[in-house]
Structure 1
């Protein structure tokens, strides 16, 4: 004899009032007939809720509550839907943002009641009465669908729709993906369980706000705030009745009712929403008439995304790269990409607009935007690792290459690496060599004709001060013989030259700067000297919070630590000041009223020019060269500062750009001496 069952209410289950058993006494035919209309819409799913025989067939228990309780309810509501990554300068002003979905979350209080009223009236009129699943609404929709012999009306509540939106983005397994699709009765049951659990965990206002932030309105606008900007160039809090009604109208089909593409279809649908607001008592007849009479007026607003839209695109690109490479944003590249995609972060960076503007003005003032010759500049704050600015004489439309983070042959700006290694090994600044050329070494590899000095000069026997001041090649080849090449290479890595390639143990030319390095790295090396030997990892991101909660997040550490002794660092800043006192930078001159140290670099065959120099407050590196390749396109005929230069050195262009930047960024800043 077959069992007979009694229909039970899902709302009763949600209330948890009592334990419902599948009790004999009612025929299955009677039960099925009672929920036939519901079954049309919910398929076997709602039949399973309304006619427990279906459940009994798939469950090992005769208790509906046992089956119901076994369904999962831990909806991943905490996993935010994709939002923006907002970049702020060091003073808290926004300069860029990224997003995979244009979504700007807002609280319930920041959404106009006109919108939430239109939403409830149209999408879920019993929203404030049900517990997440509206069986009367489902039955009504089912009857309507049966009468028309097709699906014309849905029965999902706002809460159920929110469940689907969350799971579409955050589904953790195949079951949750199935719930998001919602085309099986098991999926609809799970959706119902999630919705009821959600109603227990959140207030009605919280559900409305979360839903309003989640849904798609077309034209790449996710959430009501982004939609308000895209269609009306306003905020969600300011939406009028006709504006709010139009946005709710889009939810039925953002494509079919797109007001930009199909305005003739949008207004009738908007007016239906207005009529629903009137029917449900949210507006008066007079307000409805006025709203219906008002034409749809669109004012397209934009929320630019990416570095192309930033006034500081190359700094923006540095931040983007830092997010993708730093373990602070995920253990793997894929995890970091997901962090960037999901967003919801507001990141404060070290960008100093005054430094950035001075750098750009100096770069463009020297070479213009269309010059074949380019320059890349980088400025670091000693003792912090903070990248204050990068700049180049290019626009984002011309190139997306950040020259400050690209590798070029540095020339003589590398010579201080050999000297600092020697000082750390105990060799004094008075260490002297005969520095005449040509010189062929027996310790390190030499060119066929030996090492020579710039201009084939022969200074005789000199010490380190003179060698730095005059940038004497032979002296530094003899010095690296003493220190060994591997020791100098290791020093370079210790001081932050992380992109150094392999250097042979006999490569004496390493002392002269034949290995490619980045301007940003070189600025950081000199910043270590300027800070008394404190070496930091260069960082663009200095703090971060979750945008919606203000909760602090981990950001890349600068890892500042004493890498070389204060005494060695003090000797380096002391000797590097000599370049401005009768040395290669004497024509450029020190920053007025400041202790200033630095070095020029001129590579073989004029492939590139450099100047790297610092005060106690800023370290700036400037590279000048042809980005197509310095050997093929040397700096033998360069238009700079409005005239043609036929032969250039590190001070001719790079030095002047450096001086312009450093003079401007120190204006009004109290002078500080080097440590020690």
Structure 2
């Protein structure tokens, strides 16, 4: 045996075995090191050193509760600015069987742990996740609020889980168990736009959370595991099986007896699917669109001035608007009542029209309009983004489908055997409307109906859309004449044929000769009289006074503006005309009363923008002229057909081919403007009797005012209200010396039509020295 071998054996003999004591010390050391390591890791995570953590403010104001709220002038919560559409509920709204199902399925020890269930966590770790997950309801809420995107990397996922633990513990410190459970259900996305349990109850069962049955509650709880895989609409068999698992869990934890469970499991899943648009307010979206734009602009200015930054969707602002919820509802109902009626007439008129819904277009131009609309759709943009050619996209739009959703006044309908292009053609038939009502005394807007349904037609016809205004522009010409030339309603103007350059406007009844006083000319919307007035005043003074009256849109420098060829908004027209009822003082229409931050501090207060445009005599003279429209002229249906006998000054308006119908109605304490037309100007009624402003827009105003007057004292608007008349105005008018020969008796009834130069989608204004004419059919208003 070698010396080296002996040495090795000797060493083996003298080595001592590893003692049990050392083993225990090592194990305890490792355990304590692990505990300390976890504590340090947990602490470092809470400080945001390992992973960005939400700050205390975010934890105390989770997104679900920090949406900005919109309150009407009568104290009603109208809507919210929120990142997601949802209707939050309180714990009191939850049925007991829903809470029991949730605890049995998701977190039976929810009421006893502090955000982390140690027993479930150890079970999940030792089984490698095979025996189920360990996330508590609080952890799931933390994940929903602050760790939405689940990482596929195991290390990253581990850190996310650690973050969830930290956030869960912090949430438990700040909220009660009931608040946490309610937040979780309010936040959960049940798909199909069902954000939160209240919308889920509506979308899937057409009910409310508090009215959910045991079976419905179990179904929604089952969806919490996977709202797509266990969706009762997409996968009813899997959904029912998972629902029954939830019911079995309720038996396991003694929330149900076996008999109750078997009875519940035997029941089928009855789905009553509701579209999300049946829940949202389609009308309110129009004023909300404008309100958001105004507030965002103001908040940017505030940030520049003070450095304070506000988020409209996350800072819990309270926005108090001028709208009256009751008047808004009356306005919406007035629009729906009239448009739903004349829409049937419009469809009937175009039933046998091969170019429907257009007149005077080539087939090529008609198809180009449809294809332009196609390119404005989300479907087109999606197909374009994935590389489809225009030919492929057009073929896809022309493909017949089993079911296509369309708008009707009877509610959403699904049309069989219809293509997307057919849907575009169908919706081109739909009549649109814009309506705004305001108090001329302080500029507060009381009602705003920008369209008929935001889900289908996302274009506001109050402040966004500019349409030809027709004869509603004539008051701008008249007020310029009164203000500049010192005319009164008694002045007479020749009604003979008139021409300036190559522009030769014509009267609707083709009757000329003699003279008319301004009252008669305004009442019957006589075109040659208005044309002579603008020739006397000049075009630029008319434009200037329109600008002073609040018109910001471009008005071309052309004589034809006198008859309404300019494109203006309902918002501008209502604001301008309100000046006449306000003694000549223009006041800018306003939607916002004030804005408060979440602490109640006012960050914006309403300060009216005002300016004097004309004196009180000129203002009342315009009221006097426009009262004639209502009492004996083109707006007399206000009296004869709708029975409104209060003081009303008004103006009707219609543009070439009946593309636009207008009515502006002024009462001492309320002014309301209405526009009606189609999305495309080529789509219109063929007959002026059907398409003029008195037939399309005036009835909406009348229905609205009938509703307002029924509860007028509450709105500060009654049939006894009178316009303020200056004491000595009769002397200033001195009509006895100014009233000349006029031909009221030969006017041939009442009529209203406008002669503008609308040509397709081009600028309707042409030079007075061009060959443009302003002619329409000779239609009697009374037919």
Provide TM-score, normalisation by structure 1.
Answer: 0.70
CA distance in 2, matches of 1:483, 1:292: 87
Relative to 1, partners in 2 of residues 1:181 and 1:521: Cα closer, same or farther, differing over 3 Å?
farther
CA distance in 1, matches of 2:205, 2:635: 57
Listed one character per residue, the Cα deviations across residues 621-650 of structure 1 (whole Å, up to 9, x for unaligned) are 4556665436xx78664574xxxxxxx876
Please report the RMSD computed on the Cα atoms of aligned residues, expressed in angstroms.
5.2
Q: Is the 8 A contact 1:325 1:336 kept in 2?
A: no
CA distance in 1, matches of 2:664, 2:233: 53
Q: Is the 8 A contact 1:160 1:191 kept in 2?
A: yes
Match of 1:294 in 2: 264
CA distance in 2, matches of 1:625, 1:231: 37
Relative to 1, partners in 2 of residues 1:636 and 1:68: Cα closer, same or farther, differing over 3 Å?
closer
Match of 1:518 in 2: 569
Structure 2: tracts of 5 or more residues without a match: 1-21, 301-308, 351-356, 358-430, 712-717, 726-783
Answering whether residue 601 of structure 2 is matched by residue 629 of structure 1, we say no
Relative to 1, partners in 2 of residues 1:589 and 1:556: Cα closer, same or farther, differing over 3 Å?
farther
Q: Is the 8 A contact 1:82 1:100 kept in 2?
A: no
Aligned with 2:468: secondary structure? coil
CA distance in 2, matches of 1:257, 1:187: 25
Q: 2:290 aligns with which of 322, 343, 346?
A: 322
Relative to 1, partners in 2 of residues 1:545 and 1:245: Cα closer, same or farther, differing over 3 Å?
farther
Please state how far the C-alpha of 1:416 moved relative to its aligned partner.
Answer: 0.9
CA distance in 2, matches of 1:344, 1:181: 43
Relative to 1, partners in 2 of residues 1:512 and 1:670: Cα closer, same or farther, differing over 3 Å?
closer
CA distance in 2, matches of 1:304, 1:144: 43
Match of 2:196 in 1: 223
Listed one character per residue, the Cα deviations across residues 326-382 of structure 1 (whole Å, up to 9, x for unaligned) are 3269858xx999849x99999975544444444544455567352459574635243
CA distance in 2, matches of 1:162, 1:361: 45
Listed one character per residue, the Cα deviations across residues 54-90 of structure 1 (whole Å, up to 9, x for unaligned) are 888x9xxxxx857755654626231323999999998
Q: Is the 8 A contact 1:165 1:180 kept in 2?
A: no
Q: 1:419 aligns with which of 467, 472, 478?
A: 478
Q: 2:653 aligns with which of 601, 605, 619?
A: 601
Report 1:368-383 matches (<5 A): 368-370=345-347, 371=349, 376=433, 378=435, 380-383=437-440
Answering whether residue 145 of structure 2 is matched by residue 166 of structure 1, we say yes
Listed one character per residue, the Cα deviations across residues 95-117 of structure 1 (whole Å, up to 9, x for unaligned) are 99998756332222222233333
CA distance in 2, matches of 1:660, 1:200: 56
Relative to 1, partners in 2 of residues 1:639 and 1:605: Cα closer, same or farther, differing over 3 Å?
closer
Report 1:256-295 matches (<5 A): 256-280=229-253, 282-283=254-255, 287-295=257-265
CA distance in 2, matches of 1:587, 1:128: 68
Listed one character per residue, the Cα deviations across residues 378-416 of structure 1 (whole Å, up to 9, x for unaligned) are 352432543546599x88899666666643322222111
CA distance in 2, matches of 1:566, 1:612: 20
Relative to 1, partners in 2 of residues 1:178 and 1:330: Cα closer, same or farther, differing over 3 Å?
farther
Match of 2:55 in 1: 74
Q: 1:213 aligns with which of 166, 186, 189?
A: 186
Q: 1:529 aligns with which of 577, 580, 591?
A: 580
CA distance in 2, matches of 1:336, 1:305: 29
CA distance in 1, matches of 2:170, 2:645: 69
Q: Is the 8 A contact 2:86 2:194 kept in 1?
A: yes
Match of 2:389 in 1: none
Aligned residues: 596
Structure 1: tracts of 5 or more residues without a match: 1-24, 36-47, 59-63, 172-176, 441-445, 641-647
CA distance in 1, matches of 2:625, 2:99: 70
CA distance in 1, matches of 2:658, 2:536: 29
Relative to 1, partners in 2 of residues 1:81 and 1:168: Cα closer, same or farther, differing over 3 Å?
farther
Relative to 1, partners in 2 of residues 1:67 and 1:261: Cα closer, same or farther, differing over 3 Å?
closer
CA distance in 2, matches of 1:129, 1:545: 39
Q: 1:201 aligns with which of 158, 169, 174?
A: 174
Listed one character per residue, the Cα deviations across residues 426-445 of structure 1 (whole Å, up to 9, x for unaligned) are 734279586465556xxxxx
Q: Is the 8 A contact 1:164 1:181 kept in 2?
A: no
Report 1:214-613 matches (<5 A): 214-218=187-191, 220-239=193-212, 243-280=216-253, 282-283=254-255, 287-295=257-265, 296-301=267-272, 304-306=275-277, 313=282, 315-327=283-295, 331=299, 339=313, 350=325, 351-363=327-339, 365=341, 368-370=345-347, 371=349, 376=433, 378=435, 380-383=437-440, 384-388=443-447, 390=449, 406-424=465-483, 427-429=486-488, 435=494, 439=498, 446-450=500-504, 464-477=518-531, 479-480=533-534, 484-498=538-552, 500-504=553-557, 507-519=558-570, 521-533=572-584, 535=586, 537-538=588-589, 559=608, 561=610, 563-564=612-613, 565-580=615-630, 583-585=633-635, 589=639, 592-603=644-655, 608=660, 610-613=662-665
Which has the higher mean CA deviation after the structures are superposed, 471-480 or 243-252? 471-480
Please state how far the C-alpha of 1:494 moved relative to its aligned partner.
Answer: 4.0
Q: Is the 8 A contact 2:494 2:513 kept in 1?
A: yes
Q: Is the 8 A contact 2:45 2:162 kept in 1?
A: no
Relative to 1, partners in 2 of residues 1:517 and 1:90: Cα closer, same or farther, differing over 3 Å?
same
Relative to 1, partners in 2 of residues 1:397 and 1:293: Cα closer, same or farther, differing over 3 Å?
closer
Relative to 1, partners in 2 of residues 1:656 and 1:255: Cα closer, same or farther, differing over 3 Å?
closer
Please state how far the C-alpha of 1:142 moved relative to its aligned partner.
Answer: 0.9
Provide TM-score, normalisation by structure 2.
Answer: 0.61
Q: Is the 8 A contact 2:433 2:675 kept in 1?
A: yes
Aligned with 2:567: secondary structure? coil
Listed one character per residue, the Cα deviations across residues 8-51 of structure 1 (whole Å, up to 9, x for unaligned) are xxxxxxxxxxxxxxxxx99996369759xxxxxxxxxxxx9x45
Answering whether residue 16 of structure 2 is matched by residue 30 of structure 1, we say no
Answering whether residue 108 of structure 2 is matched by residue 125 of structure 1, we say yes
Q: Is the 8 A contact 1:85 1:343 kept in 2?
A: yes
Q: Is the 8 A contact 2:629 2:635 kept in 1?
A: yes
